[in-house]
Amino acid sequence: MCGLVCVTVYAQFFSLFAGVGMLANVILCFFCLFTVLADQKGIVAAVRRFFPAGKRAENGGGATGAGQIGWPGFCAAAVLFLLFAYGASRGMIHYDTGLYHAQSIRWIEEYGVVKGLGNLHCRLAYNSSSFALSALYSMAFLGGQSYHCTAGWLAFLLAAVCLPIGKTLRTGRFWASGLARVMCVYYLVNIFDEMISPASDYFMVLVAFYIVIKWLDLVEIGEEAVLPYGLLCVLGVFLMTVKLSAALILLLTVYPACRLLRERRWKETGVYLGLGLLTAVPFFIRNVLISGWLVYPFTQIDLFDVVWKIPKGLADYDAREIQVWGRGYTDVTQFDMPVREWLPGWLRTLAGSDKLLVTAAAAAVAVFLLEAVYLAWRRGSVVFPAFLTVQATVSASFVFWLCTSPLIRYGCVWVYLTAAVVFGGILDMVLHPATGGGRRGEKAQGGRGWRLAAGRVVSAFVILILVYKGFALAWETIGAYVNDYWLVQKDYENYETYTYRIEDVIFYCPVEGDRVGYEAFPSSPSEARIAFLGEEMAEGFRAVE
């Protein structure tokens, strides 16, 4: 995951100077070769750890990952690789992919970053670092199609991270990380036929699952070092650049920051701050260049007076439209409607399972607040502050999502994780009271019979849900099967267009609706009122009054 962050940051920096294509990949290959030559022993050790040899590691896929995975784990990962390669080769293309995802990626492939691009189409200003990553690995420069496999690759990584759930279900010994993995599997099943789309929502949710699961692993093995927590916080900064609405994940930084400051480890503090800034800087630079705003479409931070800035009125309208759309209505004039008025209608529109999960998450927030009050009253009874930090983070993220733009696909990860982390902690204390909150490897004393029975009941319930979802997915996949896309991934969907001109450059517009796809480039949902900043389109656009 650190490597994934590195190449994404690299792609964003590269896009500031040129299109992210063949040259970007060639330079990246040289960087990789240099890394291998500079750390040959480390690379060899990593490869040996990956391939099975000897006894299977006993850490259950925990945070350290020091042991070899063993043949069962290796074979399971290989099966998952083929399964997710199949899922990423075909499926349903997300509506917004035809609207702006594909065009955003193509702009990065062709030109990198273009000043004022959001004036052509405001949604092209929805900058996400995931688009730069997709452009880097699209391989469009080979002359075929632009591939979009990165979401599927990330989903495969998360599926591999969830492999230890098998041991949890067999033994009935649940920790919060086990329930988080259950919800991750639930989400992976839901998006299996959709992860072909390079939607930033999928990247955000998958990375958020990874951060929380690995954080819980660290807590449960009793990890004392600051390093892995600090690196997960840097990954949280990366998550913010994928989708800014996930910014509250940065609350996790409270734990390692307090540790470092209390122990006066100034050099390490500076290193982590530097890594965070390096991760975030290209994202914010791209924001300013594409839209003229530091954080589009939120105009509360107005730092730059540039000619290509998207007009404030349009940006404000866009922000309100996002908000009301998430609440289930389309009248932008009602963006300031009180929560008590829109919330009941929004709840009624949810699917049955989503209603249950949202209700469970809301209850978990209330329980966490009671837990926090109790621990504050007890003073000094906080055994695992890192665990309380992750509980506070997912709870705050859920509340923020609910109060801003609660479209399920925008923040389902907080719906799923809040209940899993809060109630998982309670379940752990009930089933394993002697562990003091879930430290692995210690055995609970007393009442083990009923606790084991309760754990197995929970396991049986979870297995039934996963089996049901698995059969539903298999049935749906078989019904939609097409004997194609075995060698070449399903291409972006493209739509009928007509042309119009701006300063002798041909632009495309959809004949019906607002989607264009990938091939018709450059395009906009309607005829844009813009002018070029220079003689060529690559120099950027400005709005025309």
pLDDT class of 136 with cuts at 50, 70, 90: very high
The pTM (predicted TM-score) of the whole model is 0.91
Q: How far apart are CA 500 and CA 508, in angstroms?
A: 6
Express as a percent the part of the chain with pLDDT over 70.
90
pLDDT class of 199 with cuts at 50, 70, 90: very high
Q: Residue 448's pLDDT is what? A: 60
Question: Region 64-72: what's the mean pLDDT?
Answer: 57
Scored b (16 or more CB within 10 A) or e, 35-53 reads eeeeeeeeeeeeeeeeebe
pLDDT digits (tens, 9 = 90+) for 495-514: 999 999 998 899 999 999 89
pLDDT digits (tens, 9 = 90+) for 390-411: 999 999 999 999 988 888 888 8
Residue that has been written with the tokens 């699952």 in this structure: 209
Inter-residue contact 96 to 105 (CB < 8 Å):
no
Q: Residue 312's pLDDT is what? A: 92
Inter-residue contact 402 to 359 (CB < 8 Å):
no
Q: Residue 241's pLDDT is what? A: 96
Q: Residue 34's pLDDT is what? A: 93
Residue that has been written with the tokens 């004036």 in this structure: 119
Q: Residue 498's pLDDT is what? A: 94
Q: How far apart are CA 160 and CA 151, in angstroms?
A: 14
Question: Region 204-228: what's the mean pLDDT?
Answer: 93
DSSP state at residue 100: I
Res. 62: pLDDT tops 50:
no
Res. 207: pLDDT tops 90:
yes
Q: Residue 295's pLDDT is what? A: 92
Q: Residue 143's pLDDT is what? A: 84
Question: Region 175-199: what's the mean pLDDT?
Answer: 91
State the average pLDDT for the chain.
86
User: Closest by alpha carbon to 202, among 236, 158, 265?
Assistant: 158
Question: Region 49-70: what's the mean pLDDT?
Answer: 51
pLDDT class of 291 with cuts at 50, 70, 90: very high
Q: How far apart are CA 335 and CA 112, in angstroms?
A: 34
User: Closest by alpha carbon to 191, among 444, 469, 456?
Assistant: 469
Question: Region 118-140: what's the mean pLDDT?
Answer: 94
Express as a percent the part of the chain with pLDDT over 90.
56
Q: Residue 52's pLDDT is what? A: 64
Strand, coil or helix: what is 541?
strand
As a three-state string, the secondary structure of 73-84 is HHHHHHHHHHHH
Question: Region 476-489: what's the mean pLDDT?
Answer: 81
Q: Residue 481's pLDDT is what? A: 75
Q: Residue 414's pLDDT is what? A: 95
- CA 116, chain centre distance (Å): 26
Q: Residue 82's pLDDT is what? A: 94
Res. 476: pLDDT tops 80:
no
Strand, coil or helix: what is 499?
strand
Q: How far apart are CA 125 and CA 114, in angstroms?
A: 10
pLDDT digits (tens, 9 = 90+) for 230-273: 999 999 999 999 999 899 999 999 999 999 998 899 999 999 99
pLDDT class of 73 with cuts at 50, 70, 90: confident
Q: Residue 61's pLDDT is what? A: 40
Q: Residue 395's pLDDT is what? A: 95
- CB atoms closer than 10 angstroms to residue 356: 12
Q: Which of 65 and 439 is assigned the larger pLDDT?
A: 439
pLDDT digits (tens, 9 = 90+) for 294-341: 999 888 888 999 999 999 999 999 888 888 888 878 778 778 888 888
Q: How far apart are CA 445 and CA 424, in angstroms?
A: 20
Inter-residue contact 411 to 397 (CB < 8 Å):
yes
Strand, coil or helix: what is 309?
coil
Strand, coil or helix: what is 311?
coil
Q: How far apart are CA 180 and CA 217, in angstroms?
A: 10
Res. 432: pLDDT tops 60:
yes
Burial tier of 98 (Cβ tally within 10 Å: 0-12, 13-18, 19+): buried
Q: How far apart are CA 261 and CA 373, in angstroms?
A: 25
- Which residues on neighbouring strands pair with residue 166, listed in sequence order? none
User: Closest by alpha carbon to 361, among 407, 422, 418, 278?
Assistant: 418
Q: Which of 178 and 170 is assigned the larger pLDDT?
A: 178
Q: Residue 449's pLDDT is what? A: 67
Q: Residue 63's pLDDT is what? A: 39
Res. 226: pLDDT tops 80:
yes
Res. 387: pLDDT tops 70:
yes
Q: Which of 414 and 345 is assigned the larger pLDDT?
A: 414
Q: How far apart are CA 124 and CA 107, in angstroms?
A: 9
Residue that has been written with the tokens 């759309």 in this structure: 325
Q: Residue 424's pLDDT is what? A: 85
Q: Residue 454's pLDDT is what? A: 66
Read out DSSP for 330-360?
A: --GGGTT--HHHHHHHHHHHS-HHHHHHHHH
Res. 427: pLDDT tops 90:
no
pLDDT class of 344 with cuts at 50, 70, 90: confident
Res. 345: pLDDT tops 80:
yes
Q: How far apart are CA 331 and CA 336, in angstroms?
A: 11
Res. 283: pLDDT tops 60:
yes
Inter-residue contact 135 to 105 (CB < 8 Å):
yes
The amino acid at residue 224 is E
Scored b (16 or more CB within 10 A) or e, 387-423 reads bbbbbbbbbbbbbbbbeebbbbbbbbbbbbbbbbbbb
